[in-house]
Structures are given as C-alpha cells and as structure tokens.
Amino acid sequence: MMTIFCFVFKLIFEHFKRRRNFKRKVTKKPKKIPTPLLPTECMEQIFNYVLQVEGAKLYPSLLVNRYWCKNVVPFLWHRPFSLVSNQNSFKLLRTFFLCFNKEENNLLNSLLKPYKIKIPSPTNNQTKLNYLIYLQELSFKDLEICVSSTIHKWYGKNNNNNNNNNYNNNNNYYPDQMKILIDSLLKFFFKNSTNLYSLNLDTYFDFLDIPDFSKYFSQSQYGLCQITKLQIIYNKPITTNTLHFLNLISFTCNHIHTLDIKLQSYDYNAEVIHHFSNIINSQNKLVEFNISNIMLNFEQILNSLQSHKNSLISIKLDCVYLTESSMILLNNLHHLKNLYLYYCEGLSNTILEGSFVLQKLHVIYSLKLQNITLDMLRVYGKSLQQLGLNIHDLEVAGDTAFNYCTNIDELVLIIYNPTHLSGYDTWKKEKWKERLDQLVLSQRINLSSLSIHDHNNLDVYVNRLFYT
C-alpha cells in the first residue's frame, strides 16, 4: 500500500514539475537578436534617399537607437543650415548659441540688448555634443535665411520663404539684428570649426553685404586655412568687403582643390580678375576649376591655371567667350579628364589640337547644332565614358554622335528652354525620348544611367534609368 502511495505521489509531483518547467519556458523572454550594423557609407545613402521623399524628415531617426543616432547626428550637422526647415531654424541657432562661451555670449547679448533680444546663457543649458566638429559645409545664403527665420520667430511673425520677391522687397527684415547674429556666428565658426572644408559665398538678401572677414582671423586658430572647396556665387555688385575677402583668400587659403566662380559679367573688371589670378597662383594643388559669365580677359585666368596643369583634371566654362589665345592655353592643360563647355562663344577648331584623354565631355549650345560639337566628338569621343548634349542635338545627330563615342555608359541631357526662340515648340514633343529608345534598343549605346539637367533651374534633378 505504501509503495502504491509513493508511486502515485511521484507521478503527481513529476506532473506538476513538468507543468512548472513548461510555464517557465513559455514565459521566458526571447533573446534579443542584435541588429546588423551597416557601414557609415550605406547609412549616408539611406539618409540621402529619405531626404528625397517629399515631407520626409531625418530628425525622428535620432530616436531609433544609439547606433542610428550616432550616424544621423554627423549627417544632419555637416551642413546644418541647408537641411533645417524655416520652422526649426530657431532651434538650430539656439543649439549653436549654447556652444558659445561666457564671454562670447555676453558680447552677443550686449549687442542685441537695444533690440530686446536675449540669448540664453550656456551655463544653464550645456549641449551634450560638440556640434562644431561635425560642421563641414557652410553656405552664406542658407545661413542668412536661417537667421532671418529665427528673428521673425523671436518677434512672433510668420516667415514664409516661398516668395522670393517679398523677401527682398520688404524692408521689415531687421537688417541690423541679422548682421549682428551673422557676424557673431561666422566669427564663432571660423574660430572653432576644425573640419570646415567647404565655403559657399552666395548671398540671399540684397540689403546685406558680406562681413569684413579680416576681423575674424586676428586671433583665430583655424579660420579659412583648412578650406579645400570654395564657391563664389555672387549675384550682387562687388563691394569693398568682397574685394577684401578675395585678397584674404589668396593669403590664408593654400589648399583649395575646387574653385567655383560665378559673378555677373560686368563685375569681372581688372581688379577682380587680378584677385582671382592671385588666388589660383597661391594654391598648392588645384584639381577642379569652374567659371561663369566672363566675356573679357579670360586669358589672364588661364595663364594662372598653367601652374596647375599637372593637377587640374576638370574645367567647366559656362557662358565664357573663348579667343584663339585662350583655347591654346586651354590645350596646354594636358591632364584634363573632364571638360564642360556650356554656351561658350568663339569655340573653334583650335580646341581640336589638344592632347586630352577625356572621360567626361559636355558641349552645349542653345538650339542649332554646331559642327564643332561633332568635330570634338570625333577627336575626343573614343575615350569618353560620359557625354553631355543638348536634347535638341540628340534628336538631330544621335547616330553620328554615338558612332564617335562607342564607350560611353552615361548620358547627360541638358534641357535649355528659351521660350522666346523659334523651335522651342518642337522640343515639347520630346522626340529625344523616342530617339534614345531607338539608340538603346538597337544597341548603339549601352547606358548605365541617364541624367537630365534643367539649365533654367539652378537645381539639378536626376532620373536614373538603368539599361541591360
């Protein structure tokens, strides 16, 4: 009897034991599977793609996890004024102001006191990150817009940046306050930004002049010395401060690799060209050079470029008048790989005497196909990997052009829409699409990508079409 009782008790005990173990297995939390880490380059491609989606924002990505935050912060802050919306501009500037030291903060507040603006003290709210180490690209235009939006926020006014005419014609944009804030921020950036490499001297407001840069660098540790990419896109008359800046660049910047110049044609006087020549001559190794709207004395610029003929691989000339002398100087730049000629008057057979082995060539006119275009393709086409043509040229001479360019895998089509010229209506039929389809289907060309560039818009929109 005792044996039976023990046996039954053992069965009951084992039954409950198994049930308890089963419950433990069921209620046990599953192990977390670590999220695979993508390389930084892949993350940047993801962020760039997200920004292309209308209405998409990257700031929520900061809250995904620590890894995403670590990758998003450098991306958002490498050119912060270009990525921030007008509505959030004041938050961006507030963060930068919190990076000011006590002396900088006191000075700024003393300047703003007459305007009843108070910047919070950095001692009360310290930033958790050193955002300045991420700053790599700075555009004056974006900075001006950001500062204007912030001031309007402070004064409780709606700032709508969609109407450019209202922006510049309305006098109620607080120019004095803007100048104080811009000067303080620029001085702060040039003093502390160790990784700033790209500077774009493009301005937005007609009533603002660029600052006097000379006062920024008397005690600056960094300043402009680390700049490797300089863009001077200036649509206003040249001022004394502009000339001082050009002179300063030639003395402080020696590591510029990319130089992009775009002024109004009447601003290329002898003094301005002299400053640009000095800037070019003072560089150690110029790799890319772009210039627009210069009609006279371009030979002086090309003479300066001769000192970089062993390093210069890319030149873009947009609305430049070429003489025989200038084309001879251009031909001396033997190491050119990329040559872009947009609406250049005076182009002649002299350009065919160069010994270039070009990888990229763009030759763009307005409506009428020029014989020099086909001649250049005949001479330089064999080595080309990328070809840029006017859409009209593709319609007229597609077969001939691609007979000369048998190795291209990328085509760049330029849309130039002069509505006041005859012939524009025929472009609306978009015959170039049919022409391109014929060339691809007949295997005359094998494209890996197609880019479409609207010359009437400074922005470039790109459609990637892949063919097999």
DSSP H or E run through 341: strand 338-342
Taking each helix axis as running N to C, give the angle between helix 175-192 and helix 140-154, from 0 to 180 degrees, rounded to the nearest 10. Answer: 130
Measured CA to CA, the distance from residue 249 to residue 251 in angstroms comes to 5
Structure tokens at 369: 């196909």
Q: Indicate the pLDDT class of residue 402, thresholds 50, 70 and 90.
A: confident
Domain that holds residue 395: 357-468
CB–CB of 362/376 below 8 Å?
no
> Could you tell me if residue 107 is inside a domain?
no
The stretch 459-466 carries a mean pLDDT of 33
pLDDT higher than threshold 70 for residue 429: no
CB–CB of 408/383 below 8 Å?
no
Give one word for 159, left, alpha or beta, with left for phi > 0 and alpha for psi -120 to 50.
Answer: beta
> Could you tell me if residue 381 is inside a domain?
yes
Q: What's the pLDDT score for residue 8? A: 41
> Could you tell me if residue 49 is inside a domain?
no
Measured CA to CA, the distance from residue 226 to residue 217 in angstroms comes to 13
Q: pLDDT tens digits for 120-177? A: 887 666 777 788 889 999 999 999 999 999 999 888 754 444 444 444 444 577 889 9
Q: pLDDT tens digits for 348-386? A: 999 999 999 999 999 987 655 578 888 999 999 999 999
Number of domain units in the chain: 1
Measured CA to CA, the distance from residue 71 to residue 43 in angstroms comes to 7
Distance (Å) of CA 90 to CA 123, 196, 281, 320, 433 = 19, 22, 41, 41, 46
Share of the chain above pLDDT 90, in %: 37
What are residue 231's DSSP bridge partners?
A: 200, 260
> Could you tell me if residue 377 is inside a domain?
yes
pLDDT higher than threshold 60 for residue 9: no
> Could you tell me if residue 243 is inside a domain?
no
Residue carrying the six token digits 């300089």: 230
> Could you tell me if residue 371 is inside a domain?
yes
Report which residue type is found at 351. Answer: I
> Could you tell me if residue 247 is inside a domain?
no
Q: Indicate the pLDDT class of residue 35, thresholds 50, 70 and 90.
A: low
> Could you tell me if residue 35 is inside a domain?
no
Question: Cα dihedral angle (364, 203, 53, 411), rounded to 10 degrees?
Answer: 10
Query: Which among 253, 246, 245 is positioned nearest to 214, based on CA atoms?
Result: 245
Query: Which among 335, 374, 373 is positioned nearest to 354, based on CA atoms?
Result: 335
Structure tokens at 219: 């005690």
DSSP 217-229: SSS-SSTTTT--E
Q: pLDDT tens digits for 291-343? A: 999 999 999 999 999 999 999 999 999 999 999 999 999 999 999 999 999 98
Helix (H, G, I), strand (E, B) or coil at 361: strand
Q: What's the pLDDT score for residue 56? A: 60
Q: What's the pLDDT score for residue 309? A: 95
Which is more confidently placed, 462 or 332?
Answer: 332
